[in-house]
Amino acid sequence: MAAAGLLLGVDIGGTFTDLMLFDPETGSMDFTKILTTPDDLSRGVLKGIRTITEARETSAEEISSAIHGSTIGINTIIERKGARTGLITTMGFEDVLLIGRQTRPRIYDWTVGRPRPLAPGSLRKGVRERISYTGEILEPLDLEGLGESLRHLKEDGAESVAICLLHSYANPSHEKEIEKAIKSMWPEAYVSVSSELLPEFREYERMSTTVANAYIGPIVSKYIEDLEKSVEDVGVRQLLVMQANGGLMTTKDAMTKAVNTVESGPAGGVIAAAYIGGLVGRGKIISFDMGGTTAKSSIVIDGKPLVTTEYEISPLEHGERIVKGSGYPIKTPVVDLVEVGAGGGSIAWIDSGGALRVGPMSAGADPGPACYRMGGMEPTITDANVILGRINPDYFLGGEMSLDAQASRRALAGIAGELGVGIVEAAEGIVMVANSTMARSIRYVTTERGYDAREFSIVAFGGAAPVQVVDLAEAVGIGEVIIPPSPGVFSAFGFLVADVVHNYVKTVYIKTPEANAERVEAIFMEMEETGSIQLDVDETPREDRRLDRSVDMRYIGQSHELNVPVPSEIREDGLEEIVRRFHTIHMKHYGYSMPDEEVALVSFRLVARGIRSKPAIEVKSTRVGDISEALKGSRPVHFADGSWIECDVYDRELLNPRSLFQGPCVVEEWDTTTIVNGGYRAEVDAWGNLLLTRGGGA
């Protein structure tokens, strides 16, 4: 899958498209930011490729691989702009999508609603067939009834079809027959097959995932196909796609498994944060990504991002974004992150009760915040930070884009009037509300999951994060903030350090008294054979392969499982060790364990990984040693305590690895601005990271 030449990371966000170009031979990295072009995303990508290659005095033909991540999949679901989707399922189970689970976002709210199914009732068709949980065919597939259902879907304007039969994870034969029938009579339809996408039990989650894949599949496929052609036309040799699990896949896989791309852009940032955490020797990292539209929080333990198969996507009209039961379950592996509507472009507004709110609506790239001079009129977080002196209007994107501070003041005037305060107080309120929302997301991935946030360092990136992250760290109690080099394009860097990843799952319910090492080993060996064949297709060298096993386990009678790592080879006493691990993990998650209770192995999982060489971060030798030469001047900045302080402003490009200075101050670079609060010490480490620690200086 890898080829010699330049590597390009492309991260398409709601406001900016970020590109990072890496030369494996020299270790040099170049980057740029281009305003996202919502009408045609590839147009912004091509503009970015031209910009970055011209600056480097090279050509697109020298790029061996472009690695791409975006939010097109998740946005299609959030905005409900997907394909008209039909569903073929076992007769009697047509309304599983509507019924869902008992879980509700607000348990005592009788008026709470569920998001509307992505496959409407008129397009959900049941067919006569039945397979048992052991895979035995109890009733053959009714092909005549199937044909009638497919004709109805086609006549009713369906563009894609999801196939999800009861217990197809145990025997996929009926689903394969249905897929064959669709391709025969309706070849233009996009088809999503649950036994290929997610051969796992729990029909609601499997059906929701399969339908979501069908819903976004035509849009994502067309987008990737067009983008691949566009970049190949300019000379790029290969396009790879970032997955939501933090790994890479081919464009072909991305088209058939579109749901695997739902959080591909944000996943790149988490992978990059894990990489930085490993460089600086921090075992517990909070990845915090604040871009133009949203803010994302995740955690990394010992270099490994947490990955979940219990992810939900909520449509815009539903409102709740970080509460279980509020959206569509996606059961495929996703980097475990929490996303809130608090990006630089998030719009401030007054609710019906007169309270100040921020987000989730965003000004996006068009028209953008009011200060962008592109017609935006709504007050945003970026406008508030301009008013508070945190962002220099004359040095946005290194001075390439000039901001209009007066437009920001005009945009905030309405809110200030409604609140009965001045413009500065309104701006301060906007930042405080946004910080409160983001602090909630960090507590959700730490405190509410049994982790002490105070034991973590926070890696902050995205164009907006360094401006506010110290205030946020103060609110949560985090003592160290790490600002990596080029934080505004950091997610694109994450694409360059990601590996090729294939996930496999097989549900086989086995109680431990009935299990033996030979049976369990046989299940994993079959999965490993499949993974190895795929890595052969990827042309991954044998020495660069890694196969990681795990199994979902639970006590008999429990409703949900915990994932337990499994050794690469299970010997006779291996099952006892796996069970001991389960008890330990159960204690960590729930505060108790029951060693005398029977345990069941439920779903077996394998991650087949192709390890790719990683670009090394090197500090430029041209940086000067005297910190005074990095001093650009000073300007007044408004801080959370309500004070205006005249702050020194430093040019980050001129800070050397031994630079050490105290807050309050400002550090500017091409793609972002870092605000260092009073009481914090700033230091540049050997890799060019800016380390901010509480407890140094006045």
Output the pLDDT for position 624.
46
One-letter amino acid identity for 387?
I
Mean pLDDT on 482-506: 91
User: 619 falls in which pLDDT band (50, 70, 90)?
Assistant: low
Burial (CB count within 10 angstroms: exposed 0-12, middle 13-18, buried 19+), residue 364: buried
State the DSSP string of 36-104.
--TT-HHHHHHHHHHHHHHHHT--GGGEEEEEEEESHHHHHHHTT----EEEEEETT-TTHHHH--S--
Q: In this model, does residue 353 exceed pLDDT 50?
A: yes
- How far is the C-alpha of 87 from the C-alpha of 350, rounded, in Å? 41
Tell me: the pLDDT tens digits for 521-532?
Answer: 999 999 999 999
Cβ pair 552, 510 in contact under 8 A: no
Strand partners, 570: none
Tell me: the pLDDT tens digits for 129-155?
Answer: 999 999 999 999 999 999 999 999 999
Output the pLDDT for position 416.
94
Output the pLDDT for position 4.
60
Tell me: the pLDDT tens digits for 310-334?
Answer: 888 876 554 444 556 668 899 999 9
Output the pLDDT for position 115.
83
Q: In this model, does residue 68 exceed pLDDT 50?
A: yes
The model's pTM is 0.88
Candidate from 65-79, 232-246, 399-413 with smallest mean pLDDT: 65-79
Shortest CA distance to 684 belongs to which of 663, 647, 664, 655?
A: 655
- Residue-wise burial string across 346-363, b where 16 or more C-beta atoms lie within 10 A, e elsewhere: bbbbeeeeeebbbbbbbb
Burial (CB count within 10 angstroms: exposed 0-12, middle 13-18, buried 19+), residue 596: exposed
Output the pLDDT for position 32.
87
Sign of torsion over alpha carbons 69, 366, 35, 383: negative
Tell me: the pLDDT tens digits for 258-278?
Answer: 999 988 888 999 999 999 999
- How far is the C-alpha of 242 from the C-alpha of 249, rounded, in Å? 6
- As a whole-number percent, the residues of the chain with pLDDT over 70 amount to 94
List strands edge to edge, sheet with 160-164.
Answer: 124-127, 85-90, 160-164, 190-193
Beta-sheet pairing, 160-164 with 190-193: parallel
Output the pLDDT for position 696.
54
Name residues whose C-beta falls within 8 Å of residue 26's C-beta, 6 or more positions apart in sequence. none
Cβ pair 2, 237 in contact under 8 A: no
Mean pLDDT on 232-239: 91
The whole-chain average pLDDT of the chain stands at: 89
Mean pLDDT on 280-288: 94
Q: Cα–Cα–Cα angle for 345, 349, 355, nearest 5°?
A: 135
The CA distances from residue 665 to 265, 636, 648, in Å, are 31, 10, 5
Strand partners, 644: 638
State the DSSP string of 513-536.
GG--HHHHHHHHHHHHHHHHHHHH
Neighbours of 448 (CB within 10 A): 11
Q: In this model, does residue 215 exceed pLDDT 80?
A: yes
The CA distances from residue 51 to 398, 400, 614, in Å, are 15, 13, 24
Candidate from 48-62, 93-107, 511-525, 558-572 with smallest mean pLDDT: 93-107
Identify the helix (H) or strand (E) that includes residue 692: strand 690-694
Domains of the chain: residue spans and CATH:
6-77+221-260 (3.30.420.40), 80-216 (3.40.1360), 500-610 (3.30.1490), 627-694 (no CATH)
User: 645 falls in which pLDDT band (50, 70, 90)?
Assistant: very high
- How far is the C-alpha of 284 from the C-alpha of 103, rounded, in Å? 31
Q: In this model, does residue 112 exceed pLDDT 80?
A: no
Candidate from 2-6, 539-543, 560-564 with smallest mean pLDDT: 2-6
Tell me: the pLDDT tens digits for 450-484?
Answer: 889 999 999 999 889 999 999 999 999 999 999 99
Candidate from 212-226, 546-560, 604-618 with smallest mean pLDDT: 604-618
Cβ pair 67, 498 in contact under 8 A: yes
Identify the helix (H) or strand (E) that includes residue 30: strand 29-35
User: 38 falls in which pLDDT band (50, 70, 90)?
Assistant: confident
Q: In this model, does residue 627 exceed pLDDT 90?
A: no
- The more confident residue out of 86 and 624 is 86
